[in-house]
Each structure stands twice: as C-alpha cells, then as structure tokens.
A and B are shown apart, each in its own frame.
Chain A
Amino acid sequence: MDKVLRIFSKDSFYIPLIAIILGLLLGALIMLAGGYQPMVAYTSLFNKVFGDLYNIGETVREVTPLILTGLSVAFAFRTGLFNIGASGQMMMGMTGATLIGITVNLPWFLHVPLAILAGGLLGGLWGAIAGYLKAKRGINEVITTIMLNWISLYLSNYIIANYLFDPKNKQRSLYIQDTASISMPWLSNLFNHARMNWGIILALLAAILFYILLWKTKMGYELRAVGFNPHASEYAGINVSRNVMASMFIAGIFSGVAGVIQILGVYHYQTVTAALPSQGFDAIAVALLGGNTPVGVILAAFLFGALNYGSAGMKFGAEVPPEIIRVVIASIIFFIAAHGFIRIFLKPFRKGEKAG
C-alpha cells in the first residue's frame, strides 16, 4: 500500500494527470465561450470512441502511428536529442512503402517485409541526416529536422506526382499491390469494416524493442549515457558522435514504419499533399506525456488517438468544431512543459500534506 501511495504522489504521475485534467477543462471553457455544451461534446466524444466495434477498431487504427512516432521522439529524447522531424521521417516511410508496394512484384511474404524495410530505412536515413549534421557539424537538430520535414514533403509530392501517379488522378498514386497489403480483412469484417491491420502488432513490437534496445544492450547504455551527459560519456571513451547518428537513425526508423503502416495497412495509396502528417507533431505530446518510456508512450498514444478520433463525434453530437481537440492537446503539452505552473497550482494541497 505504501508503495502504491508513493507512485501516486510521484511527479511523473501527477503532473501528466493534472495536465490532462487542465487541458480538458480549458477545452470545456473555450466550448462554453463559443456557445456549445462541453458535457454533451465530451459525452459524444466518448461515445464515438467506444460506441461500437467499428469505432473501436478505427480508434486502434488512429492510435497505431502515434505509438510509433511517439517512440521515435521518445527515443531521441532519451539520448538528449529533440526530434521534431517525425513528420518528415514518416513521410519518407510512406513514400518508401508506396514505391515498393507499387513497383515490385513479389509473393506477399517477401513483398511486405521489403516494403516495411524500405520505408523504415528511408525514415531512418532521413533522421540520420539530422544526426550526421549534429555530430559532424554541431548543427542543432531542431532546426535541421524542421527543414527536413518540409524538404520531405516536396520530395514525396514530386515522386508521387511524377513517377507513381494514377493516370486518372494525378493528385494521388496508384494502389499498392495486394501482395504488399498488411490489412487484416477477416478482422475488419469482425469490426464492421474498420480498417484493421497488422500495424498495431508492429507498433507494440516496436515498443518492446525500444525497451530492450535502451535498457538491455550495451548500445542502449551508451545511448542513454550520451543523453545524460555527453561530456562525461566522451571522457569515458564513448564515441558520442557515432551515438548521436545512431540515435537519430533509429528514431527515424520508428517514424518511417509509422508511415509504412498508413500506406500498407490503411490507405493503400499515397496522395499529393500540402500538409505534413500531424502524427509527427502530436508525437511530441505523446512522448512528453508518456515520460519517454515505452508503456507511457503507448498509454499517451491511446489518449491522443482517441481524442483525435473522437473529435469527429463531437461535431455530430454537439456541433462542436473538432479543432477544439487540437487546442486540448496543445494545452496538455503546454501544462507539462511549464510544469512549474502545476506546482504553483498544487502548493496549497502540498502544505496540507506536510502539516498532516
């Protein structure tokens, strides 16, 4: 019992919890100000997410890429790097999967792994560019990953529009071949045609891999040491710049696979787009809320995935513009990042604790 109490009074537990509550409250206030009914809105959000099998399946579909991009940002965080490039790495992963999915003819047991490998590697290389520039030129990875995001957007659009396009519709690619699909038709049927796919299994495997890699291998020890104190690590004989590159490469693979799943499991084609995938930015929230741990990331991804997916229900149920959920997510990150704010909030309660 004492142990349980200690967990519940830990910073890493109550800060995210209070941030979530404050974020939802703020969202409610903004809805009230806009003339909507927050209780009706949140109820319809909840109903949308858990309403029926189709919606449960689609929520899982929405959560899957968030787990992977969340792991990507968390992995970099663990090694002292800030990966804002999850969107771009995801974009490259999508492009790699589309490329292999369309152009190659192979039986499924070779086609699927090849497409995943290609997308993962492209994402990884995209991350490694930022890692290389950080390690060899000392350039802050924040700026390079932002710039690489936009470059990947235009590069992907160029590849889709010029080499993989559907002749009838130049705004998107052809469909990938059936042999490259990771959809699960039998499970989809079970879930009233929700777009179920093997992605969630891949994402959970990735979370386990994340854990083993960081905490059970020598490489992981070095990576964490570099994140903790690069100077001390250098002094202890760890090759810091190699670790920085490796970290961004691995982080990029996680995001790349997130993109692969969107193509092979959900859409089966890629569109020419004007915007970067939002999962790459939500990933920062997921990683922060999840405390950069694999289990935390999975839980946070479920929260944000459900909020994102359920926001469509708010529109039908309470006529609330779904964008309000972006505000809630942004506020939750704000409160976690500025947790000094939450501490001030808690001060009165804490004083009581001491007196008691």
Chain B
Amino acid sequence: MISAILTDISQLINITLVFSTSLILTAMGGIHSERSGVVNIGLEGLMMSGAFAAAVSAYFLEQAGWGIWGAWMGLVAAALFGAFFALLHAVASVTFKADQVVSGVVINLLAAGLTVYLVKVLFEGAGETKTLHAAVFSKVSIPVLADIPYVGYAFFQAYPTTYLAILIVLFTYFLLWKTRFGLRLRSVGENPGAADTLGIHVQVIRYIGVMISGAYAGLGGATIALTTTANYSHNTISGQGFIAIASMIFGKWHPFGALGAALLFGMATGLKNFIQLFPWAKMIPTEFIFMIPYILTILVLAGAVGKATPPAALGQPYDPAKR
C-alpha cells in the first residue's frame, strides 16, 4: 500500500518536471523583461518562435547527420530567434513608446502567423515540421542518484532541458540580485528617472531585459518541441506562454517564487495525464484542472492568496524629456 502510494508520488513528480520545464524557462524570461519595466504579454509568441526555430534547425541538422547535437544546436537557434523576435517588442515599446500590451499582442499574432507560414514554405505546404528522430532529447538517468528508491525516479530521470532550466533559475537569481547589472535592471523597472540621474542607460538596459526574455522564452518553447512533441505545428504552443505569465505573477516576479508556481502549474497539467492512476481524481473534470493556473492568478492578484506587487514602473515608457 505505502509502496504503491510512493510509486504514484514519484511518478507524479517525474511528470510534473516534464511539464514545468518550459514554464520555468519562459517565466525566467518574463522576469527579466518585467523587472526592467517592460510588460511582456508576448511570451506565448516568443515561445512559438523558439519552438519553431528549434524544430526546424534540429530537423535540418539531423538530416546533415548531427545526431543529438542537432537538438543542442536547436536550443541555441531557439534562444537566438526568440531574442530576435523580442527585439521587435523592444523597438516598439522602448524606442517608439508604443503601448507595451499592444506590442505584446502583436508579437503573439505575428509569431503564430509567421511560424506556420514558414513551416509550410519549408515543408512543401505541410502544416507541421517532420518528426525528429535523432535530434531529440530523451530522459537521462543520473548515475547512483537515479538508483535511490522512489526519489531517484522522481528527480533524477529527467530530460537534460529540465536540469538546464533549474540552472537558469539559479543564474537568474544570481544575475538579478547579486550583480551590478541586476541592480541596474531592477532599478530601471522601479524608478527609471532616478536610475537615469545616476547615469544608467534606461533604454539600453530595457532592450537587454526584453531580449533576454525572448531568449529564455524561446528556450522554453524549444524544450517542448525537442522533448514531448518532437516537431512543431500550430498547436505545439497553446497557452503555455500565458501560464508562464501566471507563474511569474504568482511567484511575485522572483525567480524562486516563479519556479515554485511553474512547478505547481506543471503538476496541474501533469495531473491530466495522470488521472487514470488515481480513482478519486477522475471525479475532477479535466477542464477544471486546466483552469487552475488562470483562476489562481486572478486570486493572487485579488490578494486572496498573498499580495503581489509588480515593479513600480511596469508598463510605463520612459521619456527622459518628461522627467
């Protein structure tokens, strides 16, 4: 009995890590953008651009005989393409002071249209990329640790991208809270006027913040295309970007908070696939499980589950002339 429960739990943790990885990475991206004061509704589109770039480059590198290195290069391509897409958001919202929400919506619409268009151009009109066989990540077992009963399967048999995501969380915390650059990025999001007075280039920092968000969101999208789906189509990314936004808010714009929230939401998604295993869980319709992240976000913002305070200058274009 106990061993059955422990097996269930260890399987649930394992599957939670799978579904959380893309959310963790994308939420870290969101933190970079929003801590610098730029709202990023476009995370969904940035994930699409990353998933697309990863699936396409991995496929062509696979054809060229790169094997698993094609997948690793796919990650690099995803980060670069995501950063490029985010550059559009930065140009519109930082340089031209466009409404940041409108600009983010544009990123979502543009990515949805352009990626599917390009897939059709590259794959003779097919709506999805060809399935990856060699250039795709499989789960790795960490020697010794993976042999620990229950715990080993739960935590140490995961996709390499999951470990990468955890490393990026630690790096994000280090970068934003322990370095001069991080202090500057956060100050620009809180009080750009004061930061400017101290000689910080507000607009440059915001460009960097937004582009990092694109790179990480691109990686987030790529982890889906290179692990669970092994290709890219119009519905590879369907709402994960918005759950990543939810994770960021739930985690109060802090890397560890967002990590926790992404794990929680990843578990909610995992439960759907897992529901056959628990007789009691069958009573909850899957539609309601899908709603959890979105309802929780509203409750958090309403102050029902701890108050979240966004960066003070979030959403405000900075105009030095108006200081």
Q: Which residues of A does B touch, CB under 8 Å?
A: 30, 34-35, 82, 84, 133, 137, 139-140, 142-144, 146-148, 150-151, 154-155, 157-158, 161-162, 274-275, 281, 284-285, 288, 319, 321, 323-327, 329-331, 333-334, 337-341
Q: A288, B301: Cβ atoms under 8 Å? A: no
Cβ contact of A139, chosen from B105, B291, B302, cutoff 8 A:
B302
The 0/1 profile, CB within 8 Å of A marked 1, for residues 118-162 of chain B is 101100010000000000000000000000000000000000000
Give the contacting residue for A35; candidates B91, B96, B121, B249; CB below 8 A: B121
Question: A34–B88 Cα gap in the complex (Å)?
Answer: 21
In the complex, the answer to whether A133 meets B301 with C-beta atoms within 8 Å is yes
Decide if A133 touches B287 in the complex (CB within 8 Å): no
B105 touches A158 (CB 8 A): no
Is there an interface contact between B291 and A339, defined as CB atoms closer than 8 Å?
no
Pair B294/A150 contact, Cβ less than 8 Å? yes
Partner of A84, one of B98, B101, B121: B101
Contact in complex: B245, A158 (CB < 8 Å): no
Q: Which of B274-308 contact A (CB under 8 A)?
A: 285, 287-288, 290-291, 294-295, 297-298, 301-303
Besides the known contacts A333-B102, A339-B98, 7 further A-B residue pairs in the complex with CB atoms under 8 A apart? A30-B114, A84-B101, A140-B301, A147-B298, A151-B291, A281-B105, A326-B112
Q: Tally B residues with Cβ within 8 Å of A.
A: 46
Whether A284 and B117, one on each chain, are in contact in the complex, defined by CB atoms closer than 8 angstroms, is no
For residue B113, CB closer than 8 A to chain A, the reply is yes
Q: Give me the 6 closest cross-chain CB pairs, A-B, nearest first.
A: A326-B113, A338-B96, A321-B120, A330-B110, A330-B109, A340-B96
Contacting A324 at CB < 8 Å: which of B41, B113, B285, B288?
A: B113
Selected from A34, A151, A319, A333, the residue in CB contact (under 8 A) with B117 is A34
Structural contact, A274 and B298, CB atoms closer than 8 A: no
Q: Say whether A30 contacts B117, CB under 8 Å.
A: yes
Taking a contact as CB atoms closer than 8 A, the residue among A150, A158, A281, A288 that contacts B239 in the complex is: A150
- Is the Cβ of B114 less than 8 Å from the Cβ of A327? yes
Q: Taking CB as reference atom, which chain B residue is nearest A144?
A: B298
Cα A224 to Cα B40 with chains together (Å) = 28
Q: Is the CB of A327 within 8 A of B117?
A: yes
In the assembled complex, the Cα of A323 lies from the Cα of B116 at a distance in Å of: 7
B246 within 8 A of A: yes
| A288/B288 contact (C-beta < 8 A), A281-B109, A338-B91 known | no
Q: Type the 1/0 row for B62-96, where 1 means its CB is closer than 8 Å to any CB of A.
A: 00000000000000000000000000100110011
* Contact across chains for A143 and B109 when beta carbons are under 8 A apart: no
Name the residue on A nearest B89 (C-beta).
A334
Q: List 28 A-B contacts (CB under 8 A).
A: A30-B114, A35-B121, A137-B301, A140-B301, A146-B242, A148-B294, A150-B242, A150-B294, A158-B285, A158-B287, A275-B235, A275-B238, A281-B108, A288-B102, A321-B116, A321-B121, A323-B116, A324-B117, A326-B117, A331-B106, A333-B105, A334-B103, A337-B96, A337-B99, A337-B102, A338-B91, A338-B96, A340-B97
In the complex, A325 Cα to B114 Cα: how many Å? 9
Given A147-B297, A150-B239, A334-B110, A162–B99 Cβ distance below 8 Å? Answer: no
B221 nearest CB across to chain A (Å): 17
Chain B neighbourhood of A339, CB < 8 A: 96, 98
Q: Is the CB of B117 within 8 A of A337?
A: no
Contacts of B246 in A (CB 8 A): 147
Residue B88 contacts which of A162, A324, A334, A340 (CB distance < 8 angstroms)?
A334
> What A residues does B245 contact at CB under 8 A?
143, 146
Chain B contacts of A154 at CB under 8 A? 287-288, 290-291
Residues of A within 8 A of B297 (CB): 143, 147
Q: Are B106 and A334 in contact (CB under 8 A)?
A: yes
CB distance from B271 to the nearest CB of A (A): 14
Alpha-carbon separation in the docked complex, A319 to B245 (Å): 37
Give the residue among B109, B238, B245 with the most A Cβ atoms within 10 A.
B109
Of the candidates B101, B106, B121, B249, the one having the most CB atoms from chain A within 10 angstroms of its own CB is B106
Whose C-beta in chain B lies nearest to the C-beta of A146?
B242
B249-283 residues at the A interface, CB under 8 angstroms: 249
Most chain A CB within 10 A, of B102, B116, B303, is at: B102
List the A side residues contacting B105 at CB < 8 Å: 84, 281, 284, 333
B43 to chain A, nearest CB (A): 11
Chain B residues, CB < 8 A from A84? 41, 101, 105
Asked whether, in the complex, the Cβ of B102 is within 8 Å of the Cβ of A330, the reply is: no
CB-based nearest B residue for A319: B125
Residues of B with C-beta under 8 A to A326: 109-110, 112-114, 117
In the assembled complex, the Cα of A327 lies from the Cα of B105 at a distance in Å of: 12
Q: What's the nearest-Cβ distance from chain A to residue B299, in Å? A: 10
CB-nearest residue of chain B to A156:
B287
Which parts of B155-214 form the interface with A (CB within 8 Å)?
Answer: none
A82 (CB) vs chain B CBs: closest residue: B101
Contact B98 A337 (CB under 8 A): yes
For residues 216 through 255 of chain B, which have their beta carbon under 8 Å from a beta carbon of chain A?
235, 238-239, 242, 245-246, 249
Within the complex, the shortest CB–CB distance from A100 to chain B, in Å, comes to: 21
Contact A151 B113 (CB under 8 A): no
User: Given the complex, which residues of A lie within 8 Å of B114, measured CB to CB?
Assistant: 30, 323, 326-327
In the complex formed, the residue of B with least CB distance to A331 is B110
Residue of chain A at shortest CB distance from B113: A326
A residues near B121, Cβ cutoff 8 Å: 34-35, 321
Cα–Cα distance between A337 and B94 once the two chains are bound (Å): 12
**Which partner residue on chain B sits nearest A137 by CB separation?**
B302
On whether the beta carbons of B106 and A337 are closer than 8 Å, the reply is: yes
Inter-chain contacts of B39 with A (CB < 8 A)? 142
A130 to chain B, nearest CB (A): 9
B154 to chain A, nearest CB (A): 28
Q: Is the CB of B238 within 8 A of A274?
A: yes
Which of B91, B95, B101, B287 has the most A CB atoms < 10 Å from its CB?
B287
Q: Are B238 and A329 in contact (CB under 8 A)?
A: no
